[in-house]
Amino acid sequence: MSYNSFGQLFRLTTWGESHGPAIGCVVDGCPPRIRLSEADIQPWLDRRRPGQSRFTSQRAEPDQVRILSGVFEGETTGTPIALVIENVDQRSKDYSDIRDRFRPGHADLTYELKYGARDYRGGGRASARETAMRVAAGAVARRVLGEAVRIRGALIQIGPHAIARARWDWNEVDANPFFCPDPETVPVWEDYLGSIRKAGSSVGAIIEVVAEGAPPGLGAPVYGKLDADLASGLMSINAVKGVEIGAGFASATLRGEENADEMRMREGEVEFLTNHAGGILGGISSGAPIVARFAVKPTSSILVPRRSVDRFGSEIDVMTKGRHDPCVGIRAVPVGEAMMALVLADHLLRHRAQNPDAPDRPRLPRN
């Protein structure tokens, strides 16, 4: 029920504002006796860290994570794991210009309408800074899932420029500042995003996350469906406006015989000949790769003046000064991976609870 918690059995609770002293989270329900240290978490945070290229925010945050509880002698104990990251680069400054103004496309207005108050410094709780804790907790979730489950994400579209799926190469993803799996698209995006940045504008993006090796049977009918929880988790990321599984919206245009994935046997296990379902049937994982995609809108913190209003009901023009992120979708890639890991770890525990003798590998139940 908690507004700032995600998951049921493997459960993340985050706290902290962009310009407070720190941000942090509590990971509750983690199984005991899993080896865990800051070194398991930090590399994932480093991938999300701002200021690593000219295409992302220039905020300089080392994002050094500390484990404050739940780990003893290098292993989890089953008690809550508290993680904390100090805010270093808050840039104390004069906020009088944004204190009373609502930036179009931002949560400024809705926080004010809901709570009658908000921490306006750097977006407060609405800042993408919160997603650092998702990535940190996602790193713990990966440890719970184990080596057999591989979760990877990639940016597949910036503005109108989509990759060519035929050229998809996972090895390319970490070799460019965009998490782009298609090397030929990288220079296209560099040019395009460079011009967007110079124009003081921004643009949206689409991210794809794939989990391979997840056991079948994760998810549960009818409101605990794996895809329903993935949809919730991905939609809760800042600026996300759409989520799809497998063929997604394109499945609306398909005929039944095109869409349904046929099955054959291969080495004693069921094999799907296609994966329009994105690895989920009836809300339950089938053993095929789990494929989710989500759309990130362009940030509205741009250098172009826009019409708005202020807290006193005056009509004004608003223009964001300072740091500027031409494509917030880039840094959403590690965040999307983290949400996938969190959902899968949670459902792995839920599945075990109800099905203690659940199979680890896809197999037919009673031969």
In the complex, minimum distance from the CB of residue 124 to a second copy, in angstroms, rounded to a whole number: 7
Instruction: Name which of 153 and 278 has its Cβ closer to a second copy.
Output: 278
CB-CB contact of 283 with 224 (8 Å): yes
Q: CA Rg, the chain, in Å?
A: 21
Q: Minimum Å distance from CB 21 to a second copy? A: 6
Pick between residue 50 and residue 217 the one whose CB is nearest to a second copy.
Answer: 217
Shortest Cβ distance from residue 247 to a second copy (Å)? 6
Structure tokens that stand for 187 in this block: 């220079």
Nearer to a second copy by C-beta: 60 or 113? 113
| Cβ proximity to a second copy, 43 vs 365, nearer residue | 365
Could you tell me which of 323, 318, 101 has the C-alpha nearest to residue 202?
Answer: 323
Q: Which is nearer to a second copy, 166 or 264 (CB)?
A: 264
Tokens found for residue 262 = 């046929």
> What does the alpha-carbon distance between residue 262 and residue 274 come to, in Å, rounded to a whole number?
7
CB of 153 to a second copy, least distance (A): 15
Whole-Å CA distances, 245 to 125, 228, 248, 251, 280:
29, 10, 5, 10, 8
How far is 229 from 330, CA to CA, in rounded Å?
A: 23
The residue type at 256? G
CB of 129 to a second copy, least distance (A): 11
**Residue 171 vs 295, nearer CB to a second copy:** 295
Q: How near is the Cβ of 32 to a second copy at its closest, in Å?
A: 4
User: Is the previous residue joined to 222 through a cis bond, with omega within 30 degrees of 0?
Assistant: yes
- Region of residue 49 (left: phi > 0; alpha: psi -120 to 50; beta: else): beta
CB of 275 to a second copy, least distance (A): 11
Backbone angles phi, psi at 174, to 5 degrees: -90, 10
Q: How far is the CB of 195 from a second copy (least distance, A)?
A: 11
Nearer to a second copy, 217 or 334 (CB): 217
- Distance of closest approach, residue 70 Cβ to a second copy, in angstroms: 7
How far apart CA 123 and CA 36 sit, in angstroms, is 32
For 33-93, give the DSSP string.
Answer: S-B--HHHHHHHHHHH-SSSSTTS--------EEE-SSEETTEE-SS-EEEEEE-------
Nearer to a second copy among residue 45 and residue 245 (C-beta): 245
**Beta-bridge mates of residue 240:** 296
What phi and psi, each to the nearest 5 degrees, are found at residue 306? -130, 150
Decide: helix, strand or coil at residue 162: strand
**200: enclosing H helix or E strand:** none
Judged by beta carbon, residue 171 or residue 366, the one nearer a second copy is 366
User: Residues, the chain, total?
Assistant: 367
